[in-house]
Amino acid sequence: MSKHHDELDEKAPPKGGFSRRGFFRGVGVTSGAIGSALLGEQEAEAAQAGGAKQGPGAVPVALNINGKVHNLNIEPRVTLLDACRNHLDITGAKRVCDKGTCGACTMIANGKVIYSCTTLAIDAQGKQIQTIEGIAVNGRPHPLSTAFVNNDGQQCGYCTPGFVMAAKGFLDKNPNPTYDQVKAGLGGNLCRCGTYVGVRKAVLEAAKAMKGGKNA
Amino acid sequence: MPNYSWPPMSTRKAIGQRLSRHDGIEKSTGRAKYNSDLNKPGMLQSALLTSPYAHARVRSIDVSAAEKAPGVTAVRVIAPAGTELQWQSQEIAVVAAATEPQARDAVRLIKIDYEVLPHVVREEDISKVGNRAKPAGEQLTGDPDKAFKEADVVNEGHYGIPVLTHCCLESHGQVVQWNGDQVNYWPSTQNVSGIGGDLAKNIELPATAIKVHQDHIGGGFGSKFGSDRWGVEGAKLSKASGGRPVKTFLDRATELNIAGNRPSAYAKIKMGAKKDGTIIAWESTSWATGGMGGGAMPPIPYVITNIPNRRLNHSAVATNGGPLRAWRAPNHPQASFLTCAAVEDLAAKLGMDPIEVFVKNIEYAPEPRRESYIYQFKKAAELSEWSKRWHRRGDSGSGPVKRGLGVGICSWGGAGHASTCNAKINPDGSVDIELGSQDLGTGTRTIIAQVAAETLGLPVNAVKVKLGDNALPPSNGSGGSTTVGGVSSSTRIATVNALDKLFEKVAPSLNTTADKLEAVGGKIQVKGDPAKSLTWAAACRKLGTQSISEQGQNNPRNPLGLNTQGVAGVQIADVSVDVETGVVKMNRMVAVQDCGLVVNPKLAESQVAGACIMSICGALMEERVMDQQTGRVLNPDMEFYKLAGAADIGEIIVHMDLREELDKRGVIGLGEPPTVGGVAAIANAVANAIGVRVPIIPLTPDRVLRALEERRSA
C-alpha cells in the first residue's frame, strides 16, 4: 500500500495532521522563530535568506511556468496550485485533496515531481515549473497523453493530468521501468474511477514510445 | 414505422468496435475544462461556514464583522438563530469575496454561539443507539422456525459494512451567475437537463431562466443530481453581488462530510440447509444508517431471494452524520456482502464449495437470470483457476502467508431512461448529434457517436456529438445505469429518422424510392445494386441550404427492443493474507459481467475494471470513521479516508459476457452492477485464506488479526 517511493521523494506525505498552509492562511509568512519552527530546513533557510517579512497582504511573485514568466501580485499564503488555477487560468492541475496526498495537482519543478497544492507560490519563484499544459512535444501531445488514450487510462479524467505529470517525472528518471516499478512509481497518485489497469499499461507503452531521448 | 432495431451482431461496423474515448486526448493533455476550472470575468470566490458539532442549536449568529472584511461582497446566513444543526459540517453561512483567502478570512470573523446537544454518531453496536433505532416491522415468509428444526446444518454469523463516502475527485459545487432574470449555471452534475429546474424551484425563477452548461464532470457516483444548498446560496450570493459570477466548490473535508455517503449495513444472519446444500431457511436482523434518515434494509437475501422460509427484521438508525445519497448500485454491495458472506460461511460448515451451494440454490434467483449465473460461475471459476486454487476453508498451507479465493454476485436493472436526441445532417456532410446528457467518464460521448455512425454508414469520427447543455433536447440524469440504454436508443431512433429524410431527398436522383436505399461505407446506395450510389458528401449536397434535423426519443415504457433491463455478474477474488501482520494483498480479481448489447467493449471493460478497483477500496480501506466522543468524522481527508493506489489492486481480469443471446436483448446499463459483488468476493477470499470470518469491512490488518485472535481464544 505504498503511496510514495524513492523516485518521487519530493512527494513525502505531510507529517501528522497539522496543515502548514492553514497556518499560513492565518498569519502570513514571516522569517521569525514561529515561522521557521514550522518550516522544513531548506524552506527556513530560504525564508531567512529572503529577509523581510512578506505579507499578509499581496506581494509581487514571479513564476516561470512552461518557459514563460508570469508576474503576479498575490498573498504569500497562495499555493502554486491556486496561483496557477485562480490567477493564471492554468487549470490542468486539479485541486482534489489539497493536502499532498492524491497527486491530482502534480507539477514538475526543476525536473522534480512536486505536489503543487503543498508548495507556496512564493517558494516556487526562480524554479522552472512545468505543468501538463507545457509537455507537448513539437505541438503534438506528449507520448504519455496519447498512451493514456490508447490504453483507456482515464474515465472522469480529473486525476489524469496529475497522473501524466507524475508518470513523466517517473519516466524521465526511469526510462526503462519494469511493470512492478511502474506500479510503485505511480503510488503517489490516486484515482476514484479505478483506472489503474489502463494507467499502468499506458506508462509502459509511453516508455517504449519515448525511448531514444526524443522527448523533452 | 421505420425499422429502428439494432443491426445483427455480424453486420455491425461501428457498434462493437473497441474505440478509444473521444474526449480522451482533451483530458490527458489537461485541456478539458471542468466547471471547477472556470475563471469567468469578475468572478468571486466563496467559502462556507459549517457546523463543528454533530448536534447543536444556533443561539446567535453575528456576521457584521465578516461583511466589513476586505474583498467581501456578500454574506448570507443559512442557519439563523434557533436552527438545529443535525450533523457536523452542516451549512451555517456563506461568504463571497474577491479571492478565496479573503472569503475564508471573512468566514473566520463570523461570531456564533452554539448550544451543544447530545449526539449519536456510531451504529455498529445497536444496543448503544437507544431510541435512534426505528424497527421497520417483521417480514415473514413460510415457517422459518420449523425449517430451522428440519435443517441438517444451521450457521449463524454477524457481518457489517460501514458508511462510505463518494469522494468525487472534483468536489461538489458550481460557478453561477444570477444576472437580471437569467441565471448562468455551471455545476458539477450528473443531471444536465434536470438540475436547472431544481435550482429554479429553490430560487423561485422559471426553469427556463436557468442556462446550464457542463462539458466534463470529475466523478459523481450518484452524489451529484441536485442543485444543493451551495448551489442555491451561490446563486443568491451572485445576485447580492450585482450579478457577478460566484464560484463555490466544497473543500475536501466538507465534501467527505456532507456531500453524500453510502449507508452502512450490519446484520446477524442465521441460515439453515440440508446436507446436500439446499438452503431452506433464512433469518436476519439488520440495521443501517445513512444519517438522520437512517438506512433502508438492503435487498437480502440477495439474488437467491426466494428462500422458502424467511424472517427479516430491520431497523433504520438515525445518526448525526451527513445525509446519504445514491452511491453506485444503492444498497446492492451491502446486500451482496451480507448474503454471500453468510452463504460462504454456511458452505464452509457444510464442507461444500460455495459456488456449488449457489448453483444448488439458483432456483431461488429470478428465473430469467438463473442460466446466466450458472454460466458466469463457470466462466469466472475458469478464469480464476478455481478448481486448482480454491481449497477448503483454512486449508492453505503452513507458512504465514495464506492464499484464498472467494466469490460474490451481482444483479441490476439498468433499463434506458427517458432521452431525446436531435440528429442533424448538414448540407456539407457533417453530422451533429445533440442530447442534453452528460458523459461521466463512462464513454457516453463515444458510444453515441458509434451508434450514429452505425446508422449512417459513416466513420465514427465523422459524427460530432454535443452534450452538456440544457438547451439541447432533454435526457434524464445519469443514475441507476440508465444512460447508455437511453441515449443509445434515442440516438438510434433520431439517426434512422434523419437518414430516412435524406433518402427521400436523394431517391429521385438515383431513380428509386427512399425505401430502396441504404447507407453503407460512406455512401447512399440502392439495396442490392451498390453501383447505383452517391457518396455521403454528394448526397448531403442535395439538401441545398437546409439541414435535416430529426428527433428520436427513448420512451422507457416502450423502448422498441433497443434497450432492456436485468443483468447478472459474478466476481472472484484471489488474495494473500499475512497472518502475522494481518495485511491482505490482492492477487487477482476476476469479473464476469453481462449487460446485453455492448456498444464499445473497450470502454465497457474499463467500467468493470474500475468497479472492481472501487470494490477493492471498499473491501480493504474505505470507511468513514466517526468519533462518538466529539461527534466528528475522524478521517475527512484523503490521507486517512483511504483509496487504493496503482500498486494495491493486483491484476484485474474482465470478461464481458457477449454471447449472442444476451446481445439480442438490447442495450443494458453497466455503471452499477460490477460495483456490487467485489466486496463480498474479497471478504470471502480472506475467510477462505485464513480459515475464519473477518466480520466487519474494511478488512484492515487490525480486524484480520482480531478475528484470528478470537479464534485462538475460542
Helix (H, G, I), strand (E, B) or coil at B124: coil
CA-to-CA dists, residue B525 to B64, B119, B428, B536, B549, angstroms = 74, 73, 19, 10, 21
Q: Where do the domains of chain A lie, and which CATH numbers do they carry? A: 17-134 (3.10.20.30), 143-210 (1.10.150.120)
Out of B21, B100, B621, whose CB is closest to A82?
A: B100
CA-to-CA dists, residue B308 to A176, B146, B173, B278, B360, angstroms = 60, 12, 48, 11, 14
Give me the half-sphere count of Cα atoms (radius 13 Å) on the Cβ side of residue B93: 25
pLDDT category, A55, cuts 50, 70, 90? Answer: confident
pLDDT of res. B591: 98
* Nearest-angstrom CA–CA distance, B466 and B377: 40
Closest Cα in chain A to B44: A86
For B261-414+565-713, CATH number out of 3.30.365.10, 3.80.30.20, 1.10.3430.10, 2.40.128.50 equals 3.30.365.10
pLDDT of res. B394: 78
Same fold for the pair B9-32+415-554 and B261-414+565-713:
yes
Distance between A45 CA and the closest CA of chain B, angstroms: 26
What's the rounded mean pLDDT across residues A200-215?
A: 83
Residue A30 clears pLDDT 90, i.e. is over it = no
Residue A168 clears pLDDT 50, i.e. is over it = yes
Written out in words, the top-level CATH class of the domain with range B35-118+172-249 is alpha beta
pLDDT of res. A50: 55
Residue A56 clears pLDDT 90, i.e. is over it = no
Contact B24 A149 (CB under 8 A): yes
Residue A211 clears pLDDT 90, i.e. is over it = no
pLDDT of res. A215: 42
Q: One-letter amino acid identity for B597? A: L
For A65-116, the pLDDT digits (tens) are 999 999 999 999 999 999 999 999 999 999 999 999 999 999 999 999 999 9
Q: Is B648 on the interface with A (CB under 8 A)?
A: yes
CA-to-CA dists, residue B148 to B144, B273, B534, angstroms = 6, 8, 74
End-to-end CA distance of chain A: 31
Contact B252 A98 (CB under 8 A): yes
Contact B645 A196 (CB under 8 A): yes
Which residues of chain B fall short of a pLDDT of 50? none
Residue A31 clears pLDDT 60, i.e. is over it = no
Q: What does the block give as the cell for B15?
A: 457498434
pLDDT of res. A51: 61
**All structural domains of chain B with their residue ranges:** 9-32+415-554, 35-118+172-249, 261-414+565-713
Q: Is B22 on the interface with A (CB under 8 A)?
A: no
pLDDT category, A214, cuts 50, 70, 90? Answer: very low
Residue A18 clears pLDDT 80, i.e. is over it = no
Contact A141 B25 (CB under 8 A): yes
Q: What does the block give as the cell for B169?
A: 475527485
Out of A85, A141, A193, whose CB is closest to B219?
A: A193
Closest Cα in chain B to A91: B37
Give which of A4, A106, A193 to mutate to test B binding, by max B Cβ within 10 Å.
Answer: A193
CA-to-CA dists, residue B350 to B159, B421, B680, angstroms = 19, 55, 19
* Nearest-angstrom CA–CA distance, A171 and B337: 40
The count of residues in chain B is 714
Q: What does the block give as the cell for A20?
A: 502548514
* Nearest-angstrom CA–CA distance, B295 and B265: 8
- Residue B181 phi/psi, 5-degree rounding, is -100, 15
* Nearest-angstrom CA–CA distance, B204 and B226: 15
pTM, to two decimals: 0.94
Chain A residue numbers touching B619 (CB-CB < 8 A): none
For A64-78, the pLDDT digits (tens) are 999 999 999 999 999
Q: What does the block give as the cell for B408?
A: 460474490
Q: Is B645 on the interface with A (CB under 8 A)?
A: yes
According to CATH, the topology of domain B9-32+415-554 is Aldehyde Oxidoreductase; domain 4 (3.30.365)
B97, burial (CB in 10 Å: exposed 0-12, middle 13-18, buried 19+) = buried
Helix (H, G, I), strand (E, B) or coil at A29: strand
Q: One-letter amino acid identity for B589? A: M
* Nearest-angstrom CA–CA distance, B312 and B354: 23
DSSP characters over B132-169: GEEE---EEES-HHHHHHH-SEEEEEEEEE--EE---S
Q: Is B374 on the interface with A (CB under 8 A)?
A: no
Distance between A6 CA and the closest CA of chain B, angstroms: 15
Query: Nearest-CA neighbor of A88 among A67, A111, A63, A118?
Result: A63
- Residue B54: count of CB within 10 angstroms of its CB: 27
pLDDT category, A5, cuts 50, 70, 90? Answer: very low
Q: What does the block give as the cell for B550?
A: 430529426
- Residue A145 phi/psi, 5-degree rounding, is -60, -45
Tell me what ipTM this predicted complex has. 0.97
Q: Is B40 on the interface with A (CB under 8 A)?
A: no
What's the rounded mean pLDDT across residues A198-202?
A: 98
End-to-end CA distance of chain B: 71
Contact A160 B28 (CB under 8 A): yes
What are the residues facing B140 on neighbouring strands?
B311
Q: Over chain A, what is the mean pLDDT?
A: 83
**Strands laid side by side in the B517-520 sheet:** B517-520, B523-526, B529-535
Chain A residue numbers touching B30 (CB-CB < 8 A): 91-93, 131-133, 160-161, 164
User: Sign of dihedral through CA atoms B1, B7, B13, B19?
Assistant: positive
Chain B residue numbers touching A94 (CB-CB < 8 A): 34, 36-37, 169-170, 218
B32 within 8 A of B216, measured Cβ to Cβ:
yes
Residues 6+ apart with CB under 8 A from A189: A102, A103, A104, A106, A159, A162, A163, A166, B645, B646
Distance between B436 CA and the closest CA of chain A, angstroms: 18
Q: Is B41 on the interface with A (CB under 8 A)?
A: no
* Nearest-angstrom CA–CA distance, B452 and B421: 11
Contact A1 B648 (CB under 8 A): yes
* Nearest-angstrom CA–CA distance, B607 and B611: 6
Chain A residue numbers touching B45 (CB-CB < 8 A): 86
CA-to-CA dists, residue B408 to B168, B500, B568, B574, angstroms = 25, 47, 11, 12
- Which residues in chain B (398-417) have CB-CB distances under 8 A to chain A? none
Out of B100, B610, B649, whose CB is closest to A155?
A: B610
Interface size A-B, in CB pairs within 8 Å, comes to: 193
- Residue B155 phi/psi, 5-degree rounding, is -125, 135
Query: In which region does residue A126 sit, left (phi positive, over 0), alpha (psi from -120 to 50) or beta (all else)?
Result: left
What's the rounded mean pLDDT across residues A24-40?
A: 41
pLDDT of res. B441: 97
For B399-432, the pLDDT digits (tens) are 999 999 999 999 999 999 999 999 999 999 999 9
- Residue B471: count of CB within 10 angstroms of its CB: 12
Question: Could you tell me which residue, A34 or B437, shows the higher pLDDT?
Answer: B437
Q: One-letter amino acid identity for B248? A: T
Contact A89 B39 (CB under 8 A): yes
